[in-house]
Amino acid sequence: MPNTLTLTDIANMAIDWCGGALSIQSIDDQQNPLAIICKRNLKQCVRAELDKYEWVFARKFAPAVPVDLEAYPEAEIKGYIAYHLPQDFSRLSLYFFDDFYVYRTNQYQWGHNYFLTSDYLYTRRKLDTLAYCSNEVPITKWHSLFCDIVAIALAERIAGKVQGLDADIQFLNSLYKDKKKDARKLDLIQMEANPTGRSDSQQARLRYIGGII
């Protein structure tokens, strides 16, 4: 079911978490100081949260597009095939390694089979599909727990402006960690649906979640 919250709703949630007494009618209101500071910080806040993990709703699959080395000669590296990265690329998906490029040796190991630069993905073997995570996802696709952590993360960024020296950043940080753990648990369960209950890898990830966030 599509998320029905708006960016203005997220901003007002953040203001509430800061203990602000007022709210905004629109995040695009250039006459409202609260709206201005929320809008100034929200885009970066959302992208930062999307970049941190592999959120189910941010996962994408796209055709792997080889680089035309005549047009982009600087991209050529002998022994590798260069592929363009999508404009909204954040990170390679877990599915890239599991299903679409099973040559697991990576850029941190001797004899690696792939590596990334800021512009391209390089592989030693042909790739047909690029499984990746996007850092530009419409708010309608966010799940409710992700909305919570974005709102609290925004609250952390603006609390000093909203409440000044009285801002309880430590409380917001603790709240953020709790909400993030709930959101990550939901994502890990959804990532590997199992008709008979949780799979072994789900159980392992859930047991270890305290160690990765």
Residue 21 lies in a domain: yes
- One domain for residues 201 and 176: yes
Domain limits for position 91: 59-134
Residues 22 and 84 in one domain: no
Q: Is 144 left (phi over 0), alpha (psi -120 to 50) or beta?
A: alpha
What local confidence, expressed as pLDDT, does residue 103 receive? 60
C-alpha 125 chain-centroid distance: 28
pLDDT at residue 112 in the model:
62
pLDDT score at 106: 52
Residue 2 covered by a domain: no
pLDDT of the residue at 105: 53
Using alpha carbons, list the distances in angstroms from residue 15 to 26, 110, 112: 13, 49, 47
197 and 155 co-located in one domain: yes
Domain boundary (94, 119, 134) is at: 134
pLDDT in tens, 62-92: 999 999 999 999 999 999 999 999 999 999 8
Q: Cα separations (Å) of 82 from 45, 55, 124, 125? A: 31, 26, 9, 10
Give residue 169's pLDDT.
Answer: 83
E strand or H helix at 190, and its extent? Answer: helix 169-191
Among the three residues 110, 134, 158, which one is the final residue of a domain in this structure?
A: 134
208 phi/psi in degrees, rounded to 5: -95, -5
Asked if 47 and 151 sit in the same domain, the reply is yes
Domain count, the chain: 2
Beta-sheet pairing, 120-123 with 114-116: antiparallel
Give the predicted TM-score (pTM) of the model. Answer: 0.79
One domain for residues 160 and 195: yes
Residue 186 pLDDT: 78
Is there a domain that residue 208 lies in? yes
Domain check: are 204 and 152 in the same one? yes
Output the pLDDT for position 206.
47
If asked whether residues 28 and 129 sit together in one domain, one would say: no
Q: What is the CA radius of gyration of the chain?
A: 20
**Same domain as 71, residue 48:** no
Residue ranges of the chain whose pLDDT lies below 70: 1, 97-100, 102-112, 165-166, 188-213
Q: From 88, 114, 134, give the residue that closes a domain.
A: 134
State the burial class of residue 63 (Cβ atoms within 10 Å of its Cβ: 0-12, 13-18, 19+): exposed
